[in-house]
Amino acid sequence: MGLEDLWFVLISVLFIGFFFLEGFDYGVGMLLPFLGKNDQERRTIINTIGPVWDGNEVWMITAGGAIFAAFPNWYATLFSGFYLALVLILLALIARGVAFEFRSKDENPRWRMIWDWVIFTGSLVPALLWGVAFGNLVDGTPINSALHFTGNFLDLINPYTLLCGLASLVVFVLHGVIFLSLKTDGVVRQRAEAVAERLWYLVVVVAALLAVANYVYIDIFHKIGVNPGVMPITSAAALLAVGYLLHEKDYGWAFVMLGLTILLSVATFFWFLHPNVMVSSTSDAYSLTVHNAAASHKTLELMTIVAFIFVPIVLLYQGWTYWVFRKRIGSDAKLEY
Q: Quickly list DSSP for 176-224.
A: HHHHHHHHB-THHHHHHHHHHHHHHHHHHHHHHHHHHHHHHTS-HHHHH
Over residues 118-144, the pLDDT tens digits come to 999 999 999 999 999 988 888 888 998
Residue 335 lies in a domain: no
Residue 332 lies in a domain: no
Write out the residue range of the structural domain in which residue 131 sits: 3-324
Confidence of residue 232 (pLDDT cuts 50, 70, 90): confident
What percent of the chain is helix, strand and coil (3-state, nearest 5)? 80, 5, 20
Residue 333 lies in a domain: no
Residue 242 lies in a domain: yes
Confidence of residue 54 (pLDDT cuts 50, 70, 90): confident
Confidence of residue 247 (pLDDT cuts 50, 70, 90): very high
- Outline where DSSP puts E strands in the chain: 276-278, 288-289
Mean per-residue pLDDT, 252-256: 95
Residue predicted with more confidence, 332 or 17: 17
Mean per-residue pLDDT, 69-97: 92
Residue 170 lies in a domain: yes
Residue 336 lies in a domain: no
Confidence of residue 283 (pLDDT cuts 50, 70, 90): confident
Residue 334 lies in a domain: no
Q: What is the distance between the alpha carbons of residues 4 and 316, in angstroms, rounded to a whole number?
A: 26
Q: What is the distance between the alpha carbons of residues 240 and 86, in angstroms, rounded to a whole number?
A: 32
Residue 167 lies in a domain: yes
- Residues composing the chain: 337
Work out how many domains the chain is built from and give that number: 1
From the list 106, 97, 95, the residue with the least C-alpha distance to 56 is: 97
Over residues 154-163, the pLDDT tens digits come to 888 889 999 9
Is the pLDDT confidence value at 335 over 80?
no
Q: What is the distance between the alpha carbons of residues 306 and 19, in angstroms, rounded to a whole number?
A: 23
Q: Are 192 and 28 in contact (CB under 8 A)?
A: no
pLDDT of amino acid 110: 92
pLDDT of amino acid 220: 59
pLDDT of amino acid 244: 94
**Partners of 149 in the beta sheet?**
143
pLDDT of amino acid 331: 62
Is the pLDDT confidence value at 219 over 70?
no
Q: What is the distance between the alpha carbons of residues 196 and 173, in angstroms, rounded to a whole number?
A: 9
